[in-house]
Structure formats: structure tokens, C-alpha cells
Amino acid sequence: MTRKIALITGSGRGIGAATAKLFASNGYAVCVNYKTNLQRAQQIAAEIREQGAECLLVQADVTLETDVVRLFDMVEAELGVPTVLVNNAGTLDTQSRLDELSADRIHAILRSNVSSCLLCCREAVRRMSERHGQNGGAIVNVSSGAARTGSPNEYIDYAASKGAVDTLTVGLAKEVAGEGIRVNAVRPGLIHTEIHADGGEPERVNRLAGKIPMGRGGRPEEVAEAIYWLASNKASFVTGALLDVTGGL
């Protein structure tokens, strides 16, 4: 049997960390990738190892091609060829209208949320595809419910970047469907993670919870379960899907 190996970008906190721990608890060797916060990433890696799972910790800025290639090379050398890629790394910036955004901010958001996803998908296909003599695998991209709403007056740049992730997911799914690779995405809604503090409002989920039909924000673990299902053999006939995890919003 092919060894189960999951590479999860941006997995030092939030949804990525919850996803890494869930895959580890289900028998995967896991690569925890982080950009800057070594201490937090070490904590997640320690929790995974306490479960008895193998964990590789790799610093890499996935907006940079050289770092992406190095990341995949290290996973392959230390654990083996990944069978699952979760493109979770991403960011947003302070809440703003579009007419207040600088070009530098727009470019940074697109690099973090779109270029990184494209580069990691490229490397995954090169290493998973039956066309390249490999055994296939699954890619799950972390998009956002903002791709549907547009996030006006707050994060139009972020929303647009996640719309690009949706399009990438659908197109790549069709491109590699005959090569043993499934490609899907989850679109989280208002989830209790630290990303809202990055936008300047740590309590944003609580402020908006009344708009959610289920009446509450989501937990990172709930998104992780959706990611895991899409990557698992239980979703063996699912590709090109965009799964909303939004509490009905």
C-alpha cells in the first residue's frame, strides 16, 4: 500500500493546524509548513508526535518558487512522495474599501493567496501524476465563502484572490482527472481563527454571528473534517467540487 503522506501549507495555526492534527490522527505522516512563527509550528509538531505520528517541520515561504520546490523536495526525501496536498497558506490585511488599497497590498495578497496555490499545485502534480510515473493523490485548496460574497467594504482583494482559487480548483480538476489526481476546495465561512486579528478585528466572527443561519461561528476542526473527507477515499468520485463550510451563510 502507498504510504499516506500529507503536506499542509500554513499549518502552524488555525485551520491548517487543525487539519494537520486530524490527518496525523488518521495514520498520515504529516509535513507542517510555516513561514515565520517557529514556536507555534513547533508546538503543533509536538502535539502531532505525541499522537505517535511522524511529523516533518519545514519553514518555507510558499510565494517563492525556490522555497516551494525545496519544501516538496524535503517532504519527498524525509517522508516520501506526498499523497495529499492541502493548500491552506494565505493571508488578508486590514479591512478597507477597494479605493483605499495600495498596489503593494494588492500584489501581496495575490502572491500569498493565488501564486502560492498555483506553485504548490504545480509541484504536487509533477510528483503525484500518473502521467509522470507516480501513483496519484488528492489536492484540497482552502478557498473562502468570501469568493461568493465579494466581502465589500472589508476584503475585496482577499475575496478576489479566493475566487481565483475556486477557478484554479475547477480547471485543474479537469486537467488531471485522468491522471489519478482529484482536486477539490473547501470554502470556510466565519471561523474562529487568528486571521481576523490580521484584519484588525479579532472579534469579527462574534460581531457577525447573528447573520449565520446556524447562529454561531465555525471551529477550525469543523473545516478540517471537510478537508479530510475530500482528501479521503470516501470522496473517490468527487473532483472539481467547492464545498461550503459556512453554517448556511
* Catalytic residue (one of 28, 155, 158, 228): 158
Backbone conformation region of residue 151, classed left if phi is above 0, alpha if psi is from -120 to 50, else beta: left
Residue 64 CA to residue 115 CA, distance in Å, equals 9
pLDDT at 196: 72
pLDDT at 208: 83
pLDDT at 1: 52
The three-class DSSP label of residue 144 is coil
pLDDT at 157: 97
- pLDDT over 70 at 191, yes or no: yes
Residue 249 CA to residue 36 CA, distance in Å, equals 33
- The larger pLDDT score, comparing residue 51 to residue 168, is at 168
- The larger pLDDT score, comparing residue 213 to residue 2, is at 213
Model confidence band, residue 249 (pLDDT cutoffs 50, 70, 90)? confident
- pLDDT over 80 at 87, yes or no: yes
Q: Give the lowest-confidence range in 175-184, 194-203, 211-220, 238-247.
A: 194-203
Residue 222 CA to residue 199 CA, distance in Å, equals 22
β-bridge mates for residue 139, sequence order: 85, 183
Q: Is 34 a catalytic residue?
A: no
Q: Which three cell numbers stand for residue 218?
A: 465555525
Q: Which three cell numbers stand for residue 177?
A: 482527472
Domains and CATH numbers, the chain: 5-245 (3.40.50.720)
Model confidence band, residue 207 (pLDDT cutoffs 50, 70, 90)? confident
- The larger pLDDT score, comparing residue 204 to residue 28, is at 28
pLDDT average, residue stretch 220-231: 98
Choose among 127, 89, 115: nearest CA to 8: 89
Choose among 126, 161, 128: nearest CA to 143: 161
Query: Phi first, then psi: what are they for 195, rounded to 5°?
Result: -60, -30
Q: Which three cell numbers stand for residue 183?
A: 482536486
- If you search the block for the grid coordinates 516520501, which residue do you land on? 80
pLDDT average, residue stretch 117-130: 98
- pLDDT over 90 at 17, yes or no: yes
pLDDT at 29: 98
- pLDDT over 90 at 228, yes or no: yes
Mean pLDDT of the chain: 95
% of the chain beyond a pLDDT of 70: 99
Model confidence band, residue 10 (pLDDT cutoffs 50, 70, 90)? very high
Q: How many residues does the chain have?
A: 249
133-168 residue pLDDT tens: 999 999 999 999 999 999 999 999 999 999 999 999
CB count within 10 Å of CB 207 equals 12
CB count within 10 Å of CB 213 equals 8
The three-class DSSP label of residue 168 is helix
pLDDT at 2: 72
